[in-house]
């Protein structure tokens, strides 16, 4: 009597390759496998010279781009003092040992390698990497100061070694491949956070920062970085040096890629020019690469070599062949999933962004469009393309079109790396062919800022001007950078004014003959009434530069002021289109939770503590964005969690009227799209789209109770709406409010979730009798039962072994144990239960059972060493929320259903409930209430919200359902099943049989009648 959609009593069960684009399609072609096996086999009788020759052959034949790079693989290269390098290729030195040993031999090998790396680095002025290997183990090193530091290791199996894995590891060190196609998998594997390339660059930059962090220029940049991100991220921001290093690496990478994607040979440019965007400035394209907080790398000793090495790694790709969406892949591979989850970031597929832009941007030449959470720029790309297509159709001259474009399509995001990539995306949307001499100067209008305005910066603006504090001068007087507010009305012109003043302030000056700004005023069309304020600001900038406080104020002011400026009445937009952060309340820091509650309560969005963990930032983000940035007649489209449509904790949002003591906001919702039934689902969570207009108190309108439901199976590589549209079925569907059933089932409080017995390696076992001699009565040899579903760090740990008393080896049902109407053999777990009591506390009888006690002590020690939570002991984890102990004493009959179970009075009651729970009618009725990921889930949390009645012995329909359930149960019991087959296949087989069962049509009809 089991329903198998989930995880039952017992343990929680969770279910959850591309090749390099080089001439050898497999990295190492099959013909090299014997050579690879010979290299990896450390047991083989061989000399170091033989191993050196084999590795050289592997490098030449494995296609690491050495021919394209005109590089050879030199053996025994002289390095002075009679010393010789085993293998040298490019900027990599390989020291080969017949067998790597720990202790003194390894230290001596590292000392030898360190001498070679230092010598070559000093000779060439380039950053060298060292490899130490015996063919089976590969260790990558680089210099930290004068010391050789281990960065990454790779180990090959002696039997059937994985050549492709070694290819990616070695290529990441060598960085010699050429013209690699920037396909998503290649970018992720070669540049992502887990790649050797990234680890080497990350470690080198961390060492560079540690060495120079006390320099005034570095201190100032980190201080301004911290101030801006504190303003943008609020309580999510922690001023951490590691984060500053990470942002520096990612931003420097983004700036180098910005040059490469438009065909600029970054290897030919000086590092300082790359990081400050001199080539773009010369082309009068501002706002792509700026002199910002992260340019300190070119201002410290060793920074030039670092940027050159980073450029070599990035230039391996043929970025001219990159689609704009590759920048999303780059961002996601560089920014860890935990960071993206903390920010609530889920990126929009191109085909959906294209369709939504076409839907809401109906008059692109007149409408101004803002994406207030632009990420890597997907919506911006399609909005730019739509504007330029309309301009060409209307015969708008290119110069005028580009100038107006930057006023019509704007982006804001609070993550600096996302902003850097979005600026490149914007540039790609304009296209190389439009960046000609026929255009005037343009500024890419993508800004680093906080669209939510958690901490509103109205103090930036006075009635007439914008201002920002530059701190205190040597005379301890606070200095201000001031600009007339009207100059911000033309974003491109304002950015040119600020950048121009900063550039002039950095030039050599005669103290007795101050520079004249007359030509600058004429060129930038600055009227006489504004010139005194600009002249005062320029004087402050000059002092800042002379005092070593740099000149990145243009970047700082531009990004800090623009979101506030956009929120002013005259500057609001016609269209908001975005996929805002879906940041769950439970993942927010405490201060941010407090602020979210305050702002949500003010607007009627807060549903109280009962729903707190389910609420997220997206609803508040939409209301704040509409309030601050949308004109009275403006429209919007937002991609949101699907729970917006049918969960009661979004009821306040769906009302359409948001009270606020400062500025009440109203919207008239015009419709929605339900995307949950698209497969594969385009987001990690179920998604929807809501449309609407800004309204007034008299015209606001609730979110409609009818949505447009999309179903269909889409290709994973779909990019355009033209590809996807024919594959989608679109139909009107009623929205069913989840969790709001008029009459929930009386069974709901009776069903309790079972225990979550994890980590499984510490509990679940395979047993043995102990061989011919046995172990004596009542004892079994046990060893941890392993599973491919285990997660780190547990899956890397060795199995526990022991001899445990039989009474403590308990049968446990897992999710994989359940089929409709049938239970597969239970798993076995070592559980320290004395009857219904856990024997783990002080004074327990645990030590009376020597085998169990020994096993438990080993399990506890492993848990303490590797657990991620500092709060729970192993016993507390095992009986969390009494999931285990509450199951005792065991009732005579129990119905097991998904992740829960409950006692039942009679067999008939169990058959009655099983017939209902295994019916397709129940699934369809509960589907609108269910959570969505890649597929529906958590059916057990919602089925009891339906009015499933308590079994009534006097009700004929109930008895009929029980009888029909008995018939199906008997049929399933007679099915021949190979029980060691994958449980998913077994469930599919049983359900197919039930679909053909003669009782099924009547069960479906009776269930509909019983549920009303």
How confident is the model over 790-814, as pLDDT tens digits?
888 888 888 999 999 999 999 999 8
Rounded-to-integer distance, Cα 249 and Cα 304, Å: 14
Would you state the pLDDT for residue 16?
32
Confidence at residue 923, expressed as pLDDT on a 0 to 100 scale: 83
Tell me the sheet residues that pair with 472: 478
Q: How confident is the model at residue 562 (pLDDT cuts 50, 70, 90)?
A: confident
Question: Crossing angle for the helix pair 378-393 and 350-360, nearest 10 degrees?
Answer: 50
845: left (phi over 0), alpha (psi -120 to 50) or beta: alpha
- Pairwise CA distance, residues 175 & 188, whole Å: 15
Over residues 855-873, the pLDDT tens digits come to 999 999 999 888 865 578 8
φ, ψ for residue 996 (rounded to 5)?
A: -95, -5
CA-to-CA distance for 347 and 341, rounded, in angstroms?
A: 12
Predicted local confidence at residue 20, as pLDDT: 35
Question: DSSP 3-state helix, strand, coil percentages of the chain (rounded to 5)?
Answer: 45, 20, 35
Check residue 487 and give its pLDDT.
81
- pLDDT tier for residue 342 given thresholds of 50, 70 and 90: low
pLDDT computed for residue 391 by the predictor:
96
Q: How confident is the model at residue 233 (pLDDT cuts 50, 70, 90)?
A: low
DSSP 650-706: GHHHHH-EE--SS--EEEEEEEEEEEEEEES-SSSS-EEEEEEEEE-TTT-BPPPSE
Give the pLDDT confidence score for residue 24 in this predicted structure.
37
How does residue 463 score in pLDDT terms, banded at 50, 70 and 90? Answer: low
pLDDT at 741: 39
Q: Which of these ranges, 35-44, 101-110, 339-348, has the smallest mean pLDDT?
A: 339-348
Residue 508: partners with Cβ closer than 8 Å, 6 or more residues away = none
Lowest-pLDDT range of 336-350, 587-601, 754-768, 836-850: 336-350
pLDDT of residue 5: 37
- Residue 506's pLDDT is 78
Checking if the pLDDT of 941 tops 80, the result is no
pLDDT at 929: 65
Task: Single out the residue of 99, 167, 84 nearest to residue 133, CA to CA.
Answer: 99
Spell out the domains of the chain, with CATH numbers in brackets: 30-178 (3.90.1570), 458-562 (no CATH), 580-734 (no CATH), 755-872 (no CATH), 892-1010 (no CATH)
The confidence score (pLDDT) of residue 934 equals: 41
| Distance, CA of 815 to CA of 10 (rounded, Å) | 8
What tens digit of pLDDT does each residue of 614-654 get? 677 889 999 999 998 999 989 999 999 888 998 878 888 99
pLDDT band at 340 (very low <50, low <70, confident <90, very high): low
Query: Could you tell me the end-to-end alpha-carbon distance of the chain, in angstroms, rounded to an integer?
Result: 23
pLDDT per position as a tens digit, 726-741: 999 999 998 876 544 3
pLDDT higher than 60, residue 18: no
Tens digits of residue pLDDT in 237-291? 677 888 899 889 988 998 999 899 888 899 999 999 999 888 888 888 888 887 7
- The string of pLDDT tens digits covering residues 886-929 is 888 888 999 998 778 889 999 999 999 999 999 988 888 877 66
Q: What is the mean pLDDT of the chain?
A: 84
Instruction: Note the Cα 446 to chain centre separation in Å.
Output: 21
Predicted pLDDT at 782? 92
pLDDT at 436: 74
pLDDT at 327: 76
Q: Is 48 helix (H, G, I), strand (E, B) or coil?
A: helix
Three-state SS at 460: helix
Question: SS3 of 818, please?
Answer: strand
Query: Can you tell me the mean pLDDT for 39-58?
Result: 87
Q: Report residue 940's pLDDT band, with 50, 70 and 90 as the boundaries.
A: low
What CA dihedral angle connects 849, 850, 856 and 860, to 10 degrees? 130
Give me the DSSP letters along 80-125: ETTEEEEEEETTEEEEE-SS--SSHHHHHHHHHHHHHHHHHHHHHS
Mean pLDDT calculated for residue range 98-113:
89
Burial (CB count within 10 angstroms: exposed 0-12, middle 13-18, buried 19+), residue 796: exposed
Interhelix angle for 956-974 vs 983-995, to 10°?
130
Residue 937 pLDDT exceeds 70: no
The pTM of the full predicted model, rounded to 2 decimals, is: 0.69
Q: In this predicted structure, what is the pLDDT of residue 870?
A: 56
Least confident interval from 137-151, 221-235, 664-678, 705-719: 221-235
Q: What is the mean pLDDT of residues 566-580?
A: 89
Instruction: Report percent pLDDT > 90 for the chain.
Output: 38
The model's pLDDT over 411-423, given as tens digits with 9 standing for 90+, comes to 998 878 788 889 9
Buried-state track 732-750, b at ≥16 Cβ within 10 A, e below 16: ebebebbeebeebbebeee
The three-class DSSP label of residue 633 is: strand
What's residue 109's pLDDT?
Answer: 92
Q: What's the whole-number mean pLDDT along residues 87-101?
A: 91
pLDDT at 112 over 50: yes
Tokens linked to 327: 């920048």
Once rounded to an integer, what is the mean pLDDT over residues 346-350? 82
């Amino acid at each position: 009597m089991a329903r198998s959609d989930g995880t039952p009593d017992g343990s929680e069960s969770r279910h959850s390759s591309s090749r390099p684009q080089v001439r050898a399609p497999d990295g190492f072609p099959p013909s090299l496998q014997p050579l690879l096996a010979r290299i990896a086999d450390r047991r083989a009788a061989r000399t170091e010279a033989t191993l050196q020759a084999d590795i050289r052959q592997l490098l030449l034949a494995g296609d690491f781009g050495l021919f394209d790079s005109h590089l050879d693989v030199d053996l025994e290269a002289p390095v002075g003092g009679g010393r010789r390098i085993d293998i040298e290729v490019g900027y990599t030195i390989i020291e080969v040992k017949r067998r790597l040993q720990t202790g003194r031999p390894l230290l001596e090998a590292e000392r030898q390698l360190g001498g070679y790396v230092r010598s070559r680095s000093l000779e060439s002025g380039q950053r060298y990497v060292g490899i130490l290997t015996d063919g089976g183990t590969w260790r990558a090193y680089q210099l930290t100061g004068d010391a050789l530091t281990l960065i990454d290791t790779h180990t090959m199996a002696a039997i059937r070694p994985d050549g492709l894995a070694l290819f990616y590891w070695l290529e990441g060190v060598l960085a010699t491949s050429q013209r690699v196609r920037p396909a998503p998998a290649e970018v992720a594997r070669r540049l992502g956070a887990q790649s050797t390339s990234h680890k080497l660059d990350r470690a080198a930059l961390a060492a560079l920062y540690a060495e120079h962090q006390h320099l005034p220029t570095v201190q100032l940049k980190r201080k301004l970085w911290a101030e801006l991100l504190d303003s943008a991220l609020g309580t999510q921001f922690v001023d951490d040096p590691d984060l500053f290093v990470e942002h520096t690496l990612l931003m420097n990478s983004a700036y180098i890629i910005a040059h490469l994607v438009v065909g600029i040979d970054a290897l030919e440019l000086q590092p300082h020019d790359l990081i400050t965007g001199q080539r773009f400035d010369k082309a009068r394209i501002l706002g792509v690469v700026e002199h910002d907080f992260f340019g300190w790398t070119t201002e410290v000793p060793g920074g030039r070599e670092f940027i050159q090495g980073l450029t070599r790694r990035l230039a391996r790709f043929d970025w001219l062949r990159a689609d704009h969406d590759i920048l999303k892949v780059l961002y996601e591979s560089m920014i860890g999933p935990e960071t993206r989850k903390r920010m609530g970031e889920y990126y929009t597929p191109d085909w959906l962004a294209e369709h939504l832009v076409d839907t809401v941007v109906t008059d692109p030449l007149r409408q101004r469009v803002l994406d207030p959470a632009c990420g890597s720029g997907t919506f911006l790309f399609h909005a730019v393309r739509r504007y330029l297509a309309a301009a060409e159709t209307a015969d708008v001259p290119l110069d005028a079109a580009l100038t107006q474009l930057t006023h019509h399509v704007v982006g804001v995001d609070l993550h600096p790396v996302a902003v850097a990539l979005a600026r490149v995306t914007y540039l790609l949307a304009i296209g190389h062919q439009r960046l000609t001499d026929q255009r005037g100067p343009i500024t890419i209008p993508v800004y680093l800022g906080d669209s939510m305005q958690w901490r509103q910066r109205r103090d930036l603006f006075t009635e007439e001007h914008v201002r920002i504090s530059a701190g205190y001068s040597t005379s301890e007087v606070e200095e201000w950078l001031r600009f007339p507010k009207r100059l911000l009305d033309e974003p491109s012109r304002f950015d040119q004014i600020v950048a121009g003043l900063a550039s002039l302030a950095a030039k050599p000056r005669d103290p007795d003959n101050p520079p004249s700004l007359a030509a600058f005023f004429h060129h930038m069309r600055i009227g006489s009434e504004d010139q005194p304020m600009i002249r005062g600001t320029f004087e402050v900038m000059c002092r800042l530069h002379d005092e070593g406080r740099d000149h990145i104020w243009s970047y700082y002011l531009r990004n800090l002021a623009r979101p506030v400026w956009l929120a002013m009445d005259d500057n609001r937009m016609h269209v908001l289109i975005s996929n805002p952060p879906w940041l769950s309340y439970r993942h927010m820091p405490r201060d941010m939770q407090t602020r979210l509650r305050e702002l949500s309560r003010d607007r009627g969005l807060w549903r109280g503590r009962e729903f707190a963990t389910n609420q997220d930032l997206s609803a508040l983000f939409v209301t704040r964005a509409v309030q601050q940035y949308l004109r009275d007649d403006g429209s919007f489209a937002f991609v949101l969690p699907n729970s917006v449509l049918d969960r009661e904790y979004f009821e306040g949002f769906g009302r359409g009227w948001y009270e606020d003591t400062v500025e009440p906001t109203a919207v008239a919702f015009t419709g929605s799209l339900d995307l949950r039934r698209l497969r594969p689902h385009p987001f990690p969570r179920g998604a929807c789209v809501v449309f609407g207009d800004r309204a007034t108190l008299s015209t606001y309108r609730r979110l409609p109770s009818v949505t447009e439901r999309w179903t269909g199976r889409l290709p994973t590589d779909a990019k355009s709406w033209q590809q996807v549209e024919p594959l989608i079925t679109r139909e009107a569907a009623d929205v069913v409010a989840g969790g709001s059933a008029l009459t929930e089932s009386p069974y709901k409080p009776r069903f309790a979730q079972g225990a979550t017995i994890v980590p499984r390696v510490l509990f679940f076992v395979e047993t043995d009798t102990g061989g011919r001699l046995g172990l004596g009565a009542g004892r079994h040899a046990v060893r941890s039962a392993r599973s491919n579903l285990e997660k780190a760090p547990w899956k890397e740990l060795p199995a526990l072994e022991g001899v445990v008393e039989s009474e403590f080896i308990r049968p446990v049902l897992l999710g994989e144990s359940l089929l409709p109407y049938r239970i597969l053999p239970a798993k076995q777990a070592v559980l320290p239960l004395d009857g219904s009591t856990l024997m783990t506390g002080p004074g327990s009888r645990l030590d009376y059972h020597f085998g169990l006690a020994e096993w438990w002590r080993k399990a506890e020690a492993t848990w303490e060493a590797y657990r991620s939570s500092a709060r729970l002991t192993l016993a507390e984890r095992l009986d969390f929320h009494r999931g285990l102990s509450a199951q005792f004493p065991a009732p005579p009959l129990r119905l097991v259903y998904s992740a829960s179970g409950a006692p039942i009075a009679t067999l008939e009651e169990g058959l009655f409930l099983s017939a209902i729970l295994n019916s397709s009618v129940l699934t369809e009725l509960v589907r609108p209430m269910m959570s969505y990921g890649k597929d529906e889930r958590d059916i057990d949390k919602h089925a009891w919200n339906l009015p499933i009645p308590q079994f009534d012995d006097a009700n004929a329909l109930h008895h009929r359902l029980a009888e029909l359930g008995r018939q199906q149960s008997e049929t399933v019991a007679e099915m021949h099943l190979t029980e060691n087959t994958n449980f998913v296949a077994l469930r599919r087989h049983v359900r197919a049989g039930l679909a053909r069962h003669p009782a099924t049509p009547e069960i479906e009809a009776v269930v509909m009648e019983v549920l009303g």
